[in-house]
Chains A and B, each alone.
Chain A
Amino acid sequence: MNVRRNLAGVLALCAVAMIFLPLLLTFYLSVFDETLIVFPPHGYTLRWYARIWPEFGAALRTSFFAALAAVAVSLLIGVPAGIGLARYRFRGRDAVATMLLAPLTVPGIAIGLGIFVLAVLIEEHTEWAISGSLALMVAAHVLITTPWVVRLCLASLANHDAAAEEAAASLGARPLAVLWRVTLPAMRSGIVAGGLFAFIVSFENLEMTLFLTAPGMTTLPIAVLQYLQYHIDPLVAAIAVAQVVFVGGALMLLDRHVKLAQVVA
């Protein structure tokens, strides 16, 4: 019994170490006062953090706006889809559910390449310049963010009793009032969590987005990758730390608002 408990403790410690050790090292690297990563460093500095914005500002902005747009569109698609799938039985329901969740199972490289080829084909026939446009990137991101919104909306409705909607109707609420006053509030945690996950998925996406960038329109992960090809200095570590702090902070804020463990489990 005691042995087993100790073993569990050791394993848990190992897991925590595996998650946080690289983060700690990254943070350690980000304050090296060196232009090449040498060990031990001659000194420590925060100047790399100051260089994030001049170096990556444009990419950050692109990533941020693409992610915001992707979140907005995937909420517009995912929330109604979640309600429909959770509350109604109709022909083709399984097909719709599969289609909405399928992008999760396809490798990002395959989706990216496919979209790129399709865009080029369309361009050849119509002369619409769509490859390398922000709209195409947002559309592609919507493809991989929507499944998260749908899943989390479905999960939030699974815990919600449909009888509450019937009760509202019997009390005189018309269908739209039921939706607005009962269904959507019940889904709040799912919608918030879905939106946040969608944001993170879009913001961090690398492999699919590789095919969709253009000169002057690069997302942060790709800008970092490109930077890495020519420089190995602590700036990359600094931007990584900044990203972790940003996402971690958002998750913590969210967890106060809605219990994430409940929605994702």
Chain B
Amino acid sequence: MTRLTLDRLEKRYGAMLAVDQISLDIPSGEMVVLLGPSGCGKTTTLRMIAGFIEASGGDVLLDGQSILDLPPYRREMGLVFQSYALFPHMTVARNIAFGLEMRNTPRAAASQRVQEMLRLTRLERLADRFPRQLSGGQQQRVALARALAIHPRVLLLDEPLSNLDASLRAEVGRDIRLMQRAAGLTTIMVTHDQDEAMAMADRLVVLRDGRVEQSGTQEDLYERPATPFVASFIGRSTMLEGTLADGTVGVESARLALAGRYAGTGACTLALRPERLRLNGAGAGRVDGVVELASYLGPVRDHLVRIAPERHLLVREPTAAAGRLHDAGDTVTVTWDVAAERVFDQAGAPQAELS
């Protein structure tokens, strides 16, 4: 049971701040996903926790004790890499036993632990194979078993699913989640893939340019994004720059009636969720437009609606919902209610909704 705390953790490269005072408190057993585009500092943060990169400032604490002075081999972190990083000259069983050997675990206990890990990761039949004889999904399960065999205090996952096919991704992701839960392991996973992040996390931390942009549950981030960046990075949003006045937003020649009421005025960014917009529906938010493209995608139908010469809204309706696939050129009204919209002021802060 380990609580992991990052206290104003910082990494400078010359004048460049790769990680800018990240603070994070992860209670025992929680799985936190650091999510962000490449270069946002998520991998640097993970590597500072593992001890491969020296921090320039701040602290990393396990149960209140700083571990920054410990070399990687004393930190007792379980690491899983994007590239699996198995030892190519050792069998699956030897790979899993490696950490136990390094700890001088008595042979009987070590072999028992290896058997246990093989069973948990469904690798018993592959124990004597070499990594090159395994599929990507199997290799990553070996890497997971190897990391967990030593009873690490914290599990660190560096893009663990990125090298896998889409079908394996879900399967290995589930394995990771189940084993992490069962072991009650405090875990940090790093990824740039928001679907992966949403599926795996107890809590998400969105990073951008070395800073925490927003942290919270999946629902927090999706329903109440704190910045335009989060609105477009978590789920999908159409972003429109415009002017807010009298409950409407002017975007070039178009005027969008908002569903909610906001106090501010002036320049703003309006974020609209395509899957919460409807054509000719009942919501209070509305704007007129012309269908430019329509596609039937099975579970959903997409309409690209032109609301101004250079401005388009994507509307994604479930095919089970009322309505039909329109033809290009049809005049429609895009409608929505308050949960579809988010208004940010010029500085990127969300406008509070007046009740």
Contact = CB atoms under 8 A, between A and B. Distances in A.
Interface residues of A, number: 19
B325 interface: no
Contacts of B98: 168, 171, 173, 181
A214 to B, nearest CB: 45
Contacts of B89: 185-186, 188
B103 A182 contact: no
A89 to B, nearest CB: 13
Contacts of B13: none
A160 B87 CA distance: 10
A182 B51 CA distance: 19
Contacts of B86: 164, 167
Contacts of A170: 50-51, 72-73, 75, 77-79, 147, 156
A241 B246 CA distance: 98
Given A167-B79, A170-B50, A170-B78, A177 B85 contact: no
A161 interface: yes
A94 interface: no
A174 interface: yes
A161 B77 contact: no
B83 interface: yes
Interface in A231-263: none
Nearest to A171: B99
Contacts of A177: 102
Contact of A171 (B52, B71, B83, B150): B150
Given A171-B146, A171-B150, A166 B99 contact: no
B222 interface: no
Contacts of A174: 73
B88 interface: yes
Given A171-B146, A171-B150, A164 B73 contact: no
A168 B52 CA distance: 12
A189 to B, nearest CB: 10
A166 B85 contact: yes
Interface string B84-96: 0111110000000
Interface string B109-128: 00000000000000000000
B87 A169 contact: no
Nearest to A170: B79
A43 interface: no
Contacts of B87: 164, 167-168, 181-182, 185-186
Given A170-B79, A172-B102, A182-B87, 5 more contacts: A164-B87, A166-B79, A168-B102, A170-B77, A185-B89
6 contacts: A160-B88, A161-B85, A166-B85, A170-B73, A171-B150, A174-B73
Interface of B: 50-52, 71-79, 81, 83, 85-89, 98-99, 102-103, 143, 146-147, 150, 156
Closest 5 pairs between A and B when the two form their complex, measured CB to CB: A171-B99, A163-B85, A172-B102, A169-B72, A170-B79
